[in-house]
Amino acid sequence: VLINHKSMKHVFLFLLFTLSLSVSAQFRFGAKIAVTQNDLYLNPDSSVLEAPSIIRAKGGLVANYSFSKLFSIQSELNYNILGKVYTIEGSHHTNLLGEELTDYLTIKTRLHYVELPLIAKFSLFSSKKVTLDIGGGVFAGYCLSAKQQINNESFQNTTSDYTKFNAGYTMSLSLSVMKKRLFFEMGGSRGLVNIHSGSDAKINTIQSYLAVGYYLFKGKKK
């Protein structure tokens, strides 16, 4: 999927505008924190020998406006850390005994993003105190910085190796309790933009998460 930078900027500004509208409505506004499992989809990845996903955290602000008991729109402003740890073959050499040896490189990548998801939520069950919602929508992200570590060396700044913008889709399942103030959420996202600035490989973001949040303010519809 090809998305140019100009289109991504428009998506990013639209999500920011939607977030401001939801906050001004003052229906439900809160915060959440999540434990995330992250991966970067590499294409091609023929040189990668091992690539386990990494566990990180993200958090941010949540604004939700309900149009009815069954439908609401949620916008968020999140700080998110993405990345990957992978092992590739390095140089080949022969030791004193004539044995051929291969050096392996372990590479750790850390990507720091500000993200703006926009999610449509549909209630599977709703009462005065409990709600079970399923959601789906889109997100736009802006890369603040990127760092990379090879073996045990210090992290190096690799921000120029990645594009500034990312965008994709997100899905979630959430349970709200305590008069719909405390909520638990599980979900995931998939980036559709090639975030690698080079031409030798394509990289897309993948993330799943478990989150807990609390609506600090619950206003009334006008």
Higher pLDDT among residues 89 and 71, named by residue: 71
Taking the C-alpha atoms of residue 213 and residue 61, their distance in angstroms, rounded to an integer, is 9
> Is pLDDT above 90 for 58?
yes
Cα distance between residue 30 and residue 138, in whole Å: 20
Instruction: Grade residue 151 by pLDDT with cuts at 50, 70 and 90.
Output: confident
- Can you give the pLDDT at residue 67? 85
Question: Which residues, in sequence order, are bridge partners of residue 47?
Answer: none
CA within 13 Å, CB half, 83: 21
The candidate with the shortest Cα–Cα distance to 38, out of 4, 85, 99, 3, is 85
pTM equals 0.77
- Output the average pLDDT for the chain: 83
Q: Is the pLDDT of residue 20 over 60?
A: no
Beta pairing partners, 75 = 63, 118
Q: Which residue has the tokens 């906050």?
A: 23
Contacts 24+ apart (CB under 8 A), 17-20: 18/73, 18/75, 18/118, 19/63, 19/75, 19/76, 19/77, 19/116
Q: For the residues 184-211, what does the mean pLDDT come to?
A: 91
Q: What is the pLDDT of residue 140?
A: 96
pLDDT > 70? residue 75 = yes
Both tokens assigned to 145: 């910085």
Identify the DSSP state of 196: B
- For residues 174 and 112, give the distance between their C-alpha atoms in angstroms, rounded to a whole number: 25
- How confident is the model over 30-56, as a mean pLDDT? 79
Residue bearing the bigger pLDDT, 89 or 20: 89
pLDDT attached to residue 24: 46
3-state secondary structure of 19: helix
Task: Give the pLDDT mean for 164-178.
Answer: 95
For residue 30, pLDDT over 80 is answered with yes
**Residue 186 confidence (pLDDT) above 70:** yes
Nearest partner of 205 among 121, 134, 115, judged by Cα: 115
Give the pLDDT confidence score for residue 153 in this predicted structure.
85
Give the residues across from 104 on adjacent strands. Answer: 89
Residue ranges with strand state E in 44-99: 48-50, 54-66, 71-94
pLDDT at 25: 45
Output the pLDDT for position 212. 97
Task: Output the pLDDT for position 198.
Answer: 77
Residue 138 has pLDDT above 70, yes or no: yes
**pLDDT tens, residue by residue, 91-121:** 666 766 666 766 778 888 899 999 999 999 9
Outline where DSSP puts E strands in 95-181. 100-126, 131-150, 156-157, 165-177
